[in-house]
Chains A and B, each alone.
Chain A
């Protein structure tokens, strides 16, 4: 099997496990997310346990299975930036507002496409539009014509 095929299979399997985790955890129920964020109301702290489980298992597996390079790729593609800048703060703030309004973050929204609920599909369509707006406004594309 070509390395690219191996990477695609691994990514597909990883996405599948991720979706199962989100569903079992309750992340695909926006009202549960809203109840987690509703710290002054009928607070449901369950989703804090999702983070504890996810970070705990991720840390443990990375420690136990530590390797110099990934199995199917030449190197780890880890973010290198260390600076907290305005874009990070504004972006995270806007994301949080949207998350609090609808109760969807990107992963659960994509998984919930399978529920074919019109409002959920509208969320995903709007989210993709927001991502496209970002790409068009802020991402410099390689020029197709020599300068």
Chain B
């Protein structure tokens, strides 16, 4: 198991940019920066008004390309083996749509709006996330 170092300043700076981005999207377009909702509604584009969602996702990927050029160490490997990573992806995709949000929509935007649903959702995914990590790292093993 790898250990990582405590990086509060870059975490705060990165968080501030995420907050600025969410504010831009809300104040300019009136939309909540919930990534799972933005991506999930693109999967069925007949929803209408798909172009801004596609543009947001393009911005995300473009940002990723710039990060990979300027600072490739921004990207690390998955915390799990390939088969487990695929199972995790299915859970994340289905779960975020069923629960109407993820770390951004509930954990940042929802908490900032003091939404009771988002408080409950955030506590829930933090708890099951910690549980899954505990099982992966300390019970069955095989995690990185």
Contacts and interface: CB of A to CB of B under 8 A. Distances in A.
Interface of A: 4, 6-35, 37-42, 44-62, 65, 67, 69-79, 81-84, 87-107, 109-115, 117-120, 122-135, 138-139, 141
Interface residues of B, number: 118
Contact of A11 (B25, B93, B116): B25
Interface in B33-83: 33, 35-36, 39-40, 43-44, 46, 51-68, 71-72, 74-80, 82
A78 B126 CA distance: 23
Contact of B125 (A6, A82, A95): A95
Contacts of B63: 15-20, 22-23, 111, 114
Interface of B: 1-8, 10-33, 35-36, 39-40, 43-44, 46, 51-68, 71-72, 74-80, 82, 84-104, 106-113, 115-117, 120-122, 124-134, 136-138, 143-144
A86 B117 CA distance: 11
A119 B82 CA distance: 6
A102 B58 contact: no
B60 to A, nearest CB: 4
Contacts of B111: 51, 55
A65 B11 CA distance: 24
Given A96-B128, A119-B82, A106 B102 contact: yes
B39 A33 contact: no
Contacts of B93: 106, 126-134
30 contacts: A10-B52, A14-B22, A17-B21, A19-B59, A19-B61, A19-B66, A24-B10, A25-B17, A26-B14, A46-B11, A49-B12, A54-B16, A54-B18, A54-B19, A55-B111, A62-B27, A70-B26, A73-B30, A88-B99, A96-B95, A96-B132, A101-B136, A102-B89, A110-B39, A111-B64, A123-B86, A125-B86, A126-B87, A131-B39, A133-B90
B3 A135 contact: no
A55 B95 contact: no
A57 B80 contact: no
Nearest to A60: B19
A134 B98 CA distance: 7
Contacts of B144: 31, 34
A19 B62 contact: yes
A127 to B, nearest CB: 4
B22 to A, nearest CB: 5
Given A8-B51, A61-B23, 5 more contacts: A18-B60, A96-B125, A100-B130, A126-B93, A131-B96
Contacts of A20: 14, 17, 63, 66-67
